[in-house]
Chains A and B, each alone.
Chain A
Amino acid sequence: MVAHAEAHLDHHGEHPPEPHYSSRISPSILGMYLFIGSEIMLFGAFFTAYFFVRVVNGTPWPTPPFHLPVYLAFLNTCILVTSSFTMHWSLQSVKRNNPWGLRAGLLLTFLMGLTFLITQVAEYLRIGFNTSDGSFPTIFFCLTGLHGCHVFVGLTILLFMTIRAFRGHFDAEHHHGVEIGGIYWHFVDLMWILVFLTVYVL
């Protein structure tokens, strides 16, 4: 972004300049913002479909004779919310130079995320309706399935973070990988709360 009119200067004796970002946001954080922004738009499209099916068209939710397993989804919500706490604990641990806290936190977060996903698959297998049964099941599977895909991606990130943590890649000064992954995991958690409230509760 610099137009050089005349370049006669030599930079003898100067050290290489430190990276400078005019936006004053680190590129990785900015990348995560843009990613989450695109994700919000993606979820927004599905929530719009939900709104039209349920509010504009007045489709009963859930459409009789189907039922939603609210209790199971509530348990799953508790698991995912708890995983946010363990994620936060892992980051606090690495900031205090406690590698075992980091490892335990990440491992617990991964296991809880995996439990969530397995429970959701089990829920799908026993729910008793399919996408061909009308607009209600279609939207239900789209919203929860889209979120499930994000949990899968989050689990992949968590897996790499956990492996790296066990290999000692993070310490009190260098833990950006955990920070970025943590933001994503909390985002997935927030989106689930939104999905749970709109699909199962309201």
Chain B
Amino acid sequence: MRNPLRSEGEMFRLVGVVVVAAVLIFFGAWINTWVGVAVAVLAVAALVWWLMQEPVPGAADPAPRLASGTPAGTHRVLVVAAPGTSSVAVPDRATDVVVVVPALASATEALTGAVDDRRADAERTSLALARALSRDGRNVRGEVGADDPVLAVEDTLRTFGADEVLVVGDEAIADAIRARVAVPVTRA
């Protein structure tokens, strides 16, 4: 559905369409009030149908891939793991690691905002993985991410430049992340 409030231009376009509808309603009401009401109902239905049919501007364009950089002499790894993951191995050359665990919630939980338990699960996992990885002397921190693994990676890459992304999960998630970030993505 095309969002008519997206910009001033879109809003102006909507004004134009509504003016045309208003003229039709005006003439309908000239004949009889109920004819005007009928025209108004039809106009609203047509307007909704039109907005539903309209393509969203830019929706067909591929989303820009997020690039990331790191300081010289470091090798930074961003690990994305599902809640409950017990262990993960990172490359030996990794100097800095961030473990991000998405707070995966069901649709009902997300809609009702009942995500506290899911966030607590994610935090427990991120703490455990961060502790395990920091034993090798690396700089490690754990984070709770968004409920979408791709978004969680995007969010983290904005504050943590990474040389690679390590996915503890299935290939589909890795592919989705590859489509959105310009950083090597591998599966653990």
Listed in ascending order, the chain A residues whose CB lies under 8 Å from chain B are 1-10, 12-14, 17-18, 20, 22, 29, 32-33, 36, 81, 84, 87-88, 91, 178-179, 182-183, 186-187, 189-190, 193, 196-197, 201-202
Contacts and interface: CB of A to CB of B under 8 A. Distances in A.
A85 B122 CA distance: 52
Interface residues of B, number: 46
B142 A5 contact: yes
Q: Lowest 9 CB-CB distances: which A-B pairs, in order?
A: A5-B142, A13-B71, A182-B8, A186-B11, A5-B127, A8-B139, A88-B12, A20-B158, A17-B158
A9 B15 contact: no
A196 B21 CA distance: 13
Nearest to B122: A3
Nearest to B21: A193
Contact of A5 (B26, B72, B130): B130
A197 B37 CA distance: 10
Interface string B7-36: 111011011001100100110010001001
Contacts of A196: 22
Interface stretch (B48-56, B85-93, B143-151): B143-151
Interface of B: 5-9, 11-12, 14-15, 18-19, 22, 25-26, 29, 33, 36-37, 40, 69, 71-72, 96, 98-99, 119, 123, 126-127, 130-131, 134, 139-144, 146, 151, 154-155, 158-161
Given A6-B130, A22-B151, A88-B12, A179 B71 contact: no
A5 B139 contact: no
Given A4-B143, A8-B140, A202 B33 contact: yes
Nearest to A7: B141
B29 A8 contact: no
Nearest to A4: B141
A84 B144 contact: no
A13 B72 contact: yes
Given A14-B71, A179-B7, A202-B33, A81 B19 contact: yes
B15 A197 contact: no
A14 B8 CA distance: 37
A110 B80 CA distance: 53
A187 B114 CA distance: 35
Given A8-B140, A202-B29, 8 more contacts: A4-B142, A6-B127, A18-B158, A22-B146, A81-B15, A186-B8, A186-B12, A201-B36
Nearest to A2: B143
Given A22-B146, A190-B15, A190-B18, A9 B8 contact: no
Given A14-B71, A88-B9, A197 B142 contact: no
Given A88-B8, A91-B8, A201-B36, A9 B139 contact: yes
Given A3-B126, A81-B15, A14 B143 contact: no
A113 to B, nearest CB: 14
A91 B18 CA distance: 20
